[in-house]
């Protein structure tokens, strides 16, 4: 497949999520002389739908974000990913069901996102406000709103994107950046299925007062990514910034919470809940916590936090500009290596459309932005190469990289899904202790840039 027209080829992007917007910026910034670009989104406006939780963005995603975005967007990134304050540590702390520390994965300390961008190791990242990141990425982007794509039609010299309103748009390349339920993927690779991991999660965003935020930070030793593993296949997850979102009489903080438990518990108990009724969902979450957790201070704290979930739209106040009613949500993923390589043609998948992963390791957003970075770099070869070769190289690398992270995230869920008895608990503690020592050693070496016998940064620390 060669593009033979005299005018610049046109790229159509379907989906103005973080992946699609990153790629849009990247085309304009890095390929602007070679390609035209248009972007379409099913939402009716930037405020149409709730844009989500606090998210963790891995160093790889941050480096790619800088590659993809122009200076004016980069200057605004701290609005979405604020500079760290001294008390915060963007590390991962895992505790057990009664609050004993199991694992602490340290991350390199830094003041701002700009310090992370040039790092080469993987032990850095930052907790971001996802809705603000979407806002910042919309800067300067001419999104065509209210354009729900329902499929495409290929022809000899291009591809038509088809929309629900009966319109169609012609381009040379169609990028499906339309999320986990992508109609473009369903048409292009129908055998690539969404897998249900057998865990139900109830995820919510809440605003908490300072005294509760202090307790949470104390329990997790100031780590911003916080997890408590239960004994019954359940886990409690929280993620926060210790930066107030409201400075009135008592400062308050935004926290994202998730409580996950094996789905078969709801099936076995024949649970019937109206998933459209927020109050019923939160009652159910609290009932499960009481049932699966021992009475202790940590359990009380979990219940107290879930009791703060708003049952209706709390007004226009940030961060709740739009409201996402709590509901039971199945953890699901898509492994791109579960099917043979698909055809390298004008239809290209990017982000969750190709490789959705469960949120446990916080790698989904990073992979979507890395796709945007990779696809741009492959398309830079377009002048000397034909388009299909660029797309083949993108597909090969994207599938392998993202599949690794899908598998890692999936295995983490599956390992935690089964209940553990007393012996299992001892094994769990021993494994975590061993990992703790190993990971702290690796992180120390990587973050201090040490090579065997020598400290690269010039300090006098020697390993032997």
Ligand X SMILES: Cc1cc2nc3c(=O)[nH]c(=O)nc-3n(C[C@H](O)[C@H](O)[C@H](O)COP(=O)(O)OP(=O)(O)OC[C@H]3O[C@@H](n4cnc5c(N)ncnc54)[C@H](O)[C@@H]3O)c2cc1C
Residues that bind ligand X (CB under 6 A): 14-20, 40-43, 53, 55-56, 148-149, 177-179, 183, 203, 351-352, 359, 362-366, 368
What's the min distance (Å) between Cβ of 448 and ligand X? 26
Which value, to the nearest 10 degrees, does the dihedral of the CA atoms of residues 419, 408, 188, 32 take?
A: 140
DSSP state of 193: P
Indicate the residue among 363 and 387 with the shorter CB distance to ligand X. 363
Q: Are strands 195-209 and 223-229 parallel, antiparallel or unpaired?
A: unpaired
Distance between CA atoms of 145 and 184, rounded to whole angstroms?
18
With respect to ligand X, which residue has the nearer C-beta, 43 or 135?
Answer: 43
The single-letter DSSP state of residue 33 is T
Report, in Å, the least distance between residue 2 CB and ligand X: 29
Closest approach, Cβ 211 to ligand X, in A, equals 26
Residues 6+ apart with CB under 8 A from 149: 14, 40, 42, 161, 162, 163, 164, 178, 183, 184
Q: Are 230 and 289 in contact (CB under 8 A)?
A: no
Six-digit token string for 135: 């806002």
Kindly tell me the burial class for residue 206, based on how many C-beta atoms sit within 10 Å of its own C-beta (0-12, 13-18, 19 or more): buried
Closer to ligand X by Cβ: residue 3 or 133: 133
Nearest CB to ligand X, comparing residues 3 and 136: 136
In whole angstroms, the minimum distance from the beta carbon of 243 to ligand X comes to: 17
Q: Which is nearer to ligand X, 171 or 362 (CB)?
A: 362
Is the Cβ of residue 153 or residue 269 nearer to ligand X in the bound state?
153
**Rounded CA gap, 284 and 282, in Å?**
5
H-helix or E-strand spanning residue 47: none
Query: Measured from the CB of residue 55, what is the shortest distance to ligand X in angstroms?
Result: 4
- CA distance to 122, 212, 266, 309, per residue, from 201 (Å): 27, 22, 12, 15
> CB-wise, 3 or 369, nearer to ligand X?
369
Question: Among residues 3 and 16, whose Cβ is nearest to ligand X?
Answer: 16
For the CB of residue 362, give the shortest distance to ligand X in the complex, in Å. Answer: 4
Using the minimum distance from each CB to ligand X, give the nearer residue, 17 or 230. 17
- Cβ contact 88:224 at 8 Å: yes
Measured CA to CA, the distance from residue 152 to residue 174 in angstroms comes to 9
Judged by CB, which is closer to ligand X: 231, or 288? 288
What is the residue whose two structure tokens read 């030793």? 221
Smallest gap, in angstroms, from Cβ of residue 257 to ligand X? 10
- Residue 166 CB, shortest distance to ligand X, in Å, is 14
From the CB of 303, what's the least distance to ligand X, in Å?
21
User: Minimum Å distance from CB 266 to ligand X?
Assistant: 18
Least gap, CB of 395 to ligand X (angstroms)? 16
Taking the C-alpha atoms of residue 362 and residue 368, their distance in angstroms, rounded to an integer, is: 12
How many whole angstroms from its chain centre is CA 449?
27
HSE-CB for 165 with a 13 A CA cutoff: 12
Query: Buried b vs exposed e over 49-63: b needs ≥16 C-beta within 10 Å?
Result: ebbbbbbbbbbbbbb
- Give the C-alpha separation, 371 to 68, whole Å: 10
Which residues contact residue 389 at a Cβ distance below 8 angstroms, ignoring those fewer than 6 apart? 381
User: How many Cα neighbours within 13 Å face the side chain of 356?
Assistant: 21
Residues 368 and 22: beta-carbon distance below 8 Å? yes
| Identity of the residue, 301 or 331, whose beta carbon is nearer to ligand X in the bound complex | 331
């Amino acid at each position: 497949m060669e593009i033979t027209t005299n005018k610049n080829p046109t790229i159509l992007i379907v989906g103005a999520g973080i992946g699609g917007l990153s790629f849009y910026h990247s085309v304009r910034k890095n390929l602007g002389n070679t390609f035209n670009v248009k972007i379409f989104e099913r939402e009716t406006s930037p405020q149409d739908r709730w844009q989500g939780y606090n998210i963790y963005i891995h160093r790889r995603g941050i480096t790619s974000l800088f590659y993809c975005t122009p200076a004016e967007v980069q200057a605004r990134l701290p609005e979405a990913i604020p500079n760290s304050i001294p008390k915060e540590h963007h590390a991962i702390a895992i505790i057990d069901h009664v609050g004993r520390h199991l694992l602490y994965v340290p991350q390199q300390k830094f003041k701002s996102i700009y310090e992370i961008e040039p790092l080469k190791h993987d032990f850095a990242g930052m907790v971001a406000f996802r809705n603000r990141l979407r806002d910042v990425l919309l800067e300067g982007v001419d999104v065509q709103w209210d354009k729900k794509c329902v499929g495409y039609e290929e022809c000899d010299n291009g591809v038509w994107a088809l929309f629900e309103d009966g319109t169609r748009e012609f381009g040379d390349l169609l990028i499906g950046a339309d999320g986990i339920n992508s109609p473009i993927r369903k048409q292009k690779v129908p055998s690539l299925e969404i897998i249900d991991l057998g865990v139900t999660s109830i995820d919510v965003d809440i605003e908490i007062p300072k005294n509760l935020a202090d307790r949470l930070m104390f329990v997790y030793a100031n780590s911003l990514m916080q997890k408590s593993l239960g004994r019954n296949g359940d886990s409690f997850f929280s993620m926060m910034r210790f930066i107030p979102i409201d400075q009135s009489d008592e400062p308050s903080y935004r926290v994202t919470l998730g409580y996950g438990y094996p789905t078969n518990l709801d099936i076995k108990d024949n649970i019937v809940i109206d998933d459209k009724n927020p109050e019923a969902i939160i009652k159910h979450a609290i009932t499960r916590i009481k049932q699966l957790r021992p009475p202790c201070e940590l359990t009380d704290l979990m219940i107290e936090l879930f009791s703060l979930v708003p049952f209706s739209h709390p007004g226009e106040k940030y961060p709740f500009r739009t409201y996402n009613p709590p509901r039971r949500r199945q953890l699901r993923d898509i492994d791109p290596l579960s099917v043979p390589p698909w055809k390298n043609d004008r239809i290209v998948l990017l982000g969750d459309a190709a490789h959705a992963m469960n949120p446990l390791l916080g790698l989904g957003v990073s992979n979507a932005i890395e796709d945007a970075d990779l696809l741009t770099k492959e398309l830079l070869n377009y002048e000397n190469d034909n388009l299909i070769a660029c797309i083949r190289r993108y597909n090969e690398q994207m599938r392998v990289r993202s599949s690794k992270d899908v598998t890692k995230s999936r295995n983490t869920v599956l390992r935690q899904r089964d209940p553990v008895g007393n012996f299992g608990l001892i094994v769990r503690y021993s494994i975590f202790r061993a990992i703790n020592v190993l990971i702290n050693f690796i992180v120390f070496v990587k973050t201090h840039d040490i090579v065997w016998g020598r400290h690269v940064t010039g300090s006098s620390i020697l390993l032997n």
